[in-house]
Structure formats: C-alpha cells, structure tokens
C-alpha cells in the first residue's frame, strides 16, 4: 500500500479470508549452504514446535471467537486481520471491527529477516573460529566443527522459536483522540499524522505534536496475536454482538 493511498482514503478494509499461500512454515529461503541433515533438524524442530503451539492455541482461540458473552472477561474476541507476511515493513492495513471501530495495523519490523542476518553472522563466526585452529589435525578439526555446529543449531532453533510475528505489528485506533479525524501512517517519518489540526503520533501512537501532544493524548492500542505464526489476529470488543437472550 503506497503512502498516497493511505492518506487519501479511509479504506476500512474487511478481514481477508485466510488462504493457503504455499509458503513454508518459517518463510525462510533455502540457500543450500547448510548440510542437509542440519537443515532437516532445524526444520523438523521448528515444525514440531509450530504445530504444537498452533493447534493448541487455535483450539482455544476458536472457542473465544465462537463464544461471546457479556461478562467482562469474554467481551473480547480474536478476529482475523491478514497473513503475517502479507505486509512489508512500513506498510499498513486498515481494519474495521465488527462494532465499527476503525483501526490501522502497521508492520514495524521483520523478526524473521533479523533472524536470518543473525544466522549468517553466527555461521561466519563459526567458519572463522575453525580457520584459526591451525594447530589441529584434520580429524580434530572435524570433531570440533561437529560440536560447534550442534551448539549453533540449538542456539538458532531457540532463537527462531522465540520469534512472534504478531510483535512485528502494532494495531492502533485510526481515530484521532482530539476531535475524531482519521489519522494516517507516514512510513517515511514512522509517524501517524492527523491532517485536521496537524496532530502527530509516534510509531507507538503517543502524541508528539499538535493538540494530541498538548492534551497528552495517544491512539488506543489493540492486542495482536499469531498463534500459528502465519495468520495475524486482533483482539477487539464484541459485546454488542451478543445474542439478546445472552445480553
């Protein structure tokens, strides 16, 4: 989405229907630089953790989505927003909740790309460490390399499992708390801008200029989750959708 599109319209995009994109679970590119067994180890480990976390949480999430009550702890539900890799850093998507609240969801980072850079740096570090072992014979060097690679594999697996794609994003109300105008994300400044009175908010939605700054106002923030690390969900109020007999 271009910035000009962001600033010119109130898109109010509806949640998209999840689709099978045929992408890998991790979204990584196979560079062919790692031994096959090592890649299989990393892929299998990540797949098992992903499946366990994904299915378990999706069951719980499905329950939350379907069961809506008027009690305080059940007044919110998770709603699908988009696939986690559908936006690049700096892009936004407009979302309207079932109750009509307007929200802008902005991608602010890409943890998987950051991970790949770290992985490359650690691989390089390992190679350089081995090159320095000039006093070792071939057999000793081979043994040392196996040990170092095992340790590196475990470290990378832990790092990758800690990646939460939902944390790449922020979801903020796109309604200015000053007088209710529509705010727009400006990726080149990493700010939200309100054209009505030149209000500005930083990437976390905190007022940094104009009336919102004077009044100490911020954009309301919404919780985002990605149980399966592929689809992005937003937690929004749904109390008004409760069936009359349950209200």
Residues found near ligand FES in the complex (CB under 6 A):
176, 178-179, 181, 194, 196-197, 199, 210-212
Between 50 and 199, CB nearer to ligand FES: 199
Between 207 and 227, CB nearer to ligand FES: 207
Place of tokens 């988009």: 82
Tell me how far, at minimum, the Cβ of 93 lies from ligand FES, in Å.
Answer: 21
Angle of CA points 191, 193, 194, to nearest 5°: 155
Between 8 and 223, CB nearer to ligand FES: 8
Between 145 and 191, CB nearer to ligand FES: 191
Tell me how far, at minimum, the Cβ of 201 lies from ligand FES, in Å.
Answer: 9
Tell me how far, at minimum, the Cβ of 90 lies from ligand FES, in Å.
Answer: 22
Tell me how far, at minimum, the Cβ of 210 lies from ligand FES, in Å.
Answer: 5
Cβ proximity of 170 and 204 under 8 Å: yes
Between 97 and 182, CB nearer to ligand FES: 182
Tell me how far, at minimum, the Cβ of 100 lies from ligand FES, in Å.
Answer: 18
Q: Which residue is nearest to ligand FES (CB)?
A: 199
């Amino acid at each position: 989405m271009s910035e000009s599109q962001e600033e010119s319209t109130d898109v109010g995009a509806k949640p998209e229907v999840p689709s099978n994109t045929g992408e890998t679970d991790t979204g990584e590119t196979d560079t062919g630089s790692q031994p096959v067994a090592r890649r299989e180890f990393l892929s299998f480990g990540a797949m098992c953790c992903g499946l366990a976390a994904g299915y378990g949480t999706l069951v719980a999430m499905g329950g939350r989505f379907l069961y809506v009550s008027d009690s305080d702890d059940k007044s919110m539900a998770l709603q699908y927003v988009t696939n986690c890799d559908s936006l690049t850093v700096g892009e936004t998507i407009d979302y309207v909740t079932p109750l009509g609240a307007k929200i802008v969801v902005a991608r602010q980072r890409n943890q998987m790309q950051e991970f790949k850079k770290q992985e490359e740096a650690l691989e390089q570090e390992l190679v350089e460490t081995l090159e320095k072992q000039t006093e070792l014979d071939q057999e000793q060097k081979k043994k040392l390399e196996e040990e170092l690679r095992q340790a590196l594999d475990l470290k990378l697996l832990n790092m990758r499992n800690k990646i939460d794609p939902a944390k790449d994003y922020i979801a903020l109300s796109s309604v200015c708390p000053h007088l209710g105008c529509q705010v727009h994300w400006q990726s080149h400044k990493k700010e939200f801008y309100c054209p009505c009175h030149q209000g500005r908010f930083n990437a976390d939605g905190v007022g940094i200029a104009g009336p919102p700054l004077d009044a100490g106002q911020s954009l309301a923030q919404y919780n985002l989750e990605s149980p399966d690390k592929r689809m992005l969900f937003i937690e929004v109020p749904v109390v008004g959708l409760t069936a009359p007999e349950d209200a």
